[in-house]
Amino acid sequence: MATKTVRDINVNGKRVLLRVDFNVPMEKDGRITSLARLKASLPTIRYLTQHGAKVMLLSHLGRPGGKVVESMRLRPVRVELEKLLGQPVAYADDCVSPTAQAAVQQLEPGQVLLLENVRFHPGDEKNDPEFSRQLAALADIFVEDAFGVVHRAHASTVGVTEFLPSVAGLLLEKELEMMNHVLTAPHHPLVAIMGGAKISDKVGVVENMLGMVDVLLIGGGMAATFLRARGMETGASLIEQDSIAFAAKAMQDAERRGVRVVLPSDVVVADKFEAAAVHKVVPDNQIPVGWMILDIGPETLKTFKREIAKAKTVFWNGPMGVFEMPAFSKGTRELVDALASLKGVTTIVGGGSTAEVVESLGMEDKMTHVSTGGGATLECLAGETLPGVAALKKPQRA
């Protein structure tokens, strides 16, 4: 069953509860350091306002644990959103209180109201039916547009759909289309680049994608576990002992399927996990005792660039090194540049830290798609059901 979107319903004059993902990175002084998620929500918000909807924005910010945390209020988001939208955004200091209900009553068609952090209420993460009902009572229609949380069965992603006609927003539609492209209809060769610190949170993705990809490039901290699985010494690098057997099996499965798995041939190692640590480039089989892998080396980078230059579709999730430390960011930075320079290639960047890297370098417009959801991307590409999407495909209330 196809997921209906805002284009399939009449929203004129209707109260629309729009679940967005405004969980933006924010400094202690309230300064937002990336507006990417706000910008990603604009097409749906504008579509709704231009079609005469009364729009209520519902989001979480941080992990307040079901209680009010002043530093996690959405007021700074409201300021930036008004600038981006070019229109006033009303604000309610709760999402279900009489204050929120009164603010909703004052909305006129085309106006926007930002409701306060939904996770100030424990009922959200518990998917509490009563809390879901209270949210639904504010609206006539529910629109899910927060791809970053559709892998969570919360009141604001799943529970509310039990009480309202529910459809997808334009961002969610785009995210699902791009994930579906990788899963069902990629242009080959398909190259997957996997990095980041851990294998354990990518097991499902690796297993599922081995049946799709032509080449799998492994970098980041997880490369150390793959190297250990090949019997190599990895110094003091972080090794997931419980994942060594999986890494070995994945490489065997890849060989059986005709998928090439490319591990680093050289790495940047350091004597300690510090920005100013002594570091050097060594071959993958000459990692000194007590030293740790913190980036891919120049020869590996050349190899990775050659592989993606032959690709028609590239999916990337996870930095190649400790990007936050300048000495260990070269592999990731140059890989971003290489992807940005590709012509006629579909380039899809997984959410989370990978998206943050691309955005920090100002390269998001050079990619085909930069996802807004890290965990949701991984679960989707692992072939798992996303509860927030599944809820939209159920028989709808009239």
Give me the active site residues, please.
37, 198, 352, 375
* Residue tagged 């068609």 (tokens): 109
Residue 170: Cβ-neighbour burial (10 angstroms; 0-12, 13-18, 19+): buried
* Spatial CB neighbours of 136, under 8 Å, sequence gap ≥ 6: 17, 142, 160, 162, 163, 164
The torsion region of residue 13 among left (phi > 0), alpha (psi -120 to 50) and beta comes to left
* Residue tagged 């190297």 (tokens): 227
Instruction: Determine the 3-state secondary structure of 295 from DSSP.
Output: strand
Query: In Å, what is the CA distance from 237 to each residue of 64, 160, 332, 384?
Result: 33, 45, 18, 31
Instruction: Determine the 3-state secondary structure of 268 from DSSP.
Output: strand
Sheet holding 54-58, edge to edge: 89-92, 112-115, 54-58, 15-19, 141-144, 166-168
Can you give the three-state secondary structure of 47-75, one letter per residue? HHHHCCCEEEEECCCCCCCCCCCHHHCCH
**What's the angle, vertex CA 358, arms to CA 294 and CA 385, rounded to 5?**
95
Q: Do the Cβ atoms of 105 and 132 come closer than 8 Å?
A: no
Give Dmax (Cα) for the chain: 68
DSSP 5: B
End-to-end CA distance of the chain: give it in Å, rounded.
Answer: 17
Helices 170-184 & 374-381, crossing angle to 10 degrees?
40
Query: In Å, what is the CA distance from 189 to each residue of 73, 206, 221, 308, 314?
Result: 45, 17, 25, 9, 9
β-pair partners for 279: 270
